[in-house]
Amino acid sequence: MLTSGPRHPLTTTTGPHTPYRCWATAYPLHAVSSIPLSAHTATSPRLALRWLRDRTRDITDQLDPPYAQPGRHWLTDEAEHERALAYLAAGTAYQLTLHDEECHYVLVVHPPEDAR
C-alpha cells in the first residue's frame, strides 16, 4: 500500500542542511508496541529515496514470496519513484507499507519543514 502523509513540520530546524528523516518500523499484529527497524537522515530527496529502496529490499528479501511481491513491484516501479521524489520535493511525506501474516512494516520519509 502506498500513501502520502499530510503536510506538517516534523522539525523546527531550517536551513540548507536540514535533513530528510527516514525510518522503518515493524508493527507486530499481536504486540503492544512497535519495533524500530532503522532510522536515517538524508540531505536530499534522492538520497532519502535511495535509503527507502535499500530498506524495502532488506524487508522484501525476508518475506515469503507472496508477501514480498508488492515490495518487489515497488522496487522496479520508476514512475512511483518519481512520484515519491515529487512528494518529497513539495514538502509532503511519503510512506510505503508492506505486510505479512504477522506484521506490518511501515517505511516513511519525511521532508524537512523548509522543503516546501
Q: What is the pLDDT of residue 80?
A: 98
Rounded to 10 deg, the angle between the 45-62 and 65-76 helix axes is 160
Q: What is the pLDDT of residue 113?
A: 78
Which residues, given as ranges, of the chain have pLDDT below 70? 1-17, 114-116
What single DSSP character describes residue 113? Answer: G
Q: What is the pLDDT of residue 18?
A: 76
Which of 60, 46, 50 has the alpha carbon at shortest distance from 99?
Answer: 60
Taking the CA atoms of 39, 36, 85 and 21 in sequence, report the sign of the dihedral they define.
negative
List pLDDT tens digits, range 15-45: 456 799 999 999 999 999 999 999 999 999 9
